[in-house]
Amino acid sequence: MAVINQPNSQIKLTNVSLVRMKKGKKRFEIACYQNKIQDWRSKIEKDIDEVLQIPQVFINVSKGQVANKEDLQSNFGTTDQNKIILEILSKGEIQLNEKERNANLQQKQNEFLNIISTKCINPRSKKRYPPSMIDKALNEIKFHLNPTKQTKIQALDAIKVLVEKQIIPIARAQMKIKIILSKKAYLKAFESDIKDNIDHIEETENNGKQYEIIGIIDPINYRVLVGLIENGTDNKIAKGEGSIEVLDMSAIKE
């Protein structure tokens, strides 16, 4: 709990979140209610009185040190508290308290584990591992989430290590797809555009009029293939000359 000391009164601020901005050699702060800053920035909350605990610019909120007019003028070019507060609120750095930091960290950890869980399977059972088992395996290989780095990139790195170490039987989940192309579309686009997006071709059939290709792909390439086949690529495939169908969402390349 922060306490603001004023000349004739003492204002107690509870559940305070700070937004901080450095200007020149000075640091300026405003005191806001928890969970309201992001609502304001995303325009969900439009009443600034619901965001600010006190409409005042501080040098240090916890010590109750209010910014003087000279500092405001020299660093912001104005002494208008409202204008300065809006600038700090929109551009400043949010200072999270310990409870908020822990909640954010837990949210990132859950997101991290869920990404791995949805992208991997047990190659024997073809089933996905629950996040709790992924977490246990990562602890064994001492792979821990860095909260300052992008969660998705770290999840992909973790998958590589898990597949390499095989603490548990694990493989990257791939998609089995079926592509049907007219003979004209196949001859124009398959070798030059489509084939590079297929990780492994299991079967190809040609009845003289159309080609049917069954293959394994990385899920990231599915949208690319849809764009190439159903939307056409450089006018090589006309609408209706090709189709793509998902046969298995949890396939693996043998």
| Residue-level pLDDT at 139 | 95
Largest separation between any pair of C-alpha atoms in the chain: 92
30 CB burial (10 A radius; 0-12, 13-18, 19+): buried
- Asked whether the CA dihedral 133, 138, 139, 145 is positive or negative, the reply is negative
Contact assessment for residue 50 and residue 34, using Cβ atoms and an 8 Å cutoff: no
| Residue-level pLDDT at 68 | 92
pTM passes above 0.85:
no
Token pair 């910014």: residue: 67
Token pair 């200072």: residue: 95
Which tokens go with 211? 């080609």
Write the pLDDT tens digit of every residue in 54-70: 999 999 988 889 999 99
User: In the chain, what are the domains?
Assistant: 2-95 (3.30.1250.10), 98-172 (1.10.10.900), 174-251 (3.30.70.240)
CA dist., res. 2 & res. 24, Å (int):
26
| Residue-level pLDDT at 57 | 94
| Residue-level pLDDT at 218 | 87
| Residue-level pLDDT at 232 | 58
| Residue-level pLDDT at 6 | 45
| Residue-level pLDDT at 166 | 95
| Residue-level pLDDT at 253 | 66
Segments of the chain with pLDDT less than 70: 1-15, 97, 231-235, 252-254
139 Cβ contact list (under 8 Å, min separation 6):
none
Whole-number Cα distances in Å, 96 to 26, 86, 195, 245: 20, 19, 49, 47
Write the pLDDT tens digit of every residue in 187-224: 888 888 889 999 899 999 998 889 999 999 988 889 88
Tell me if residue 19 falls in helix, strand or coil: strand
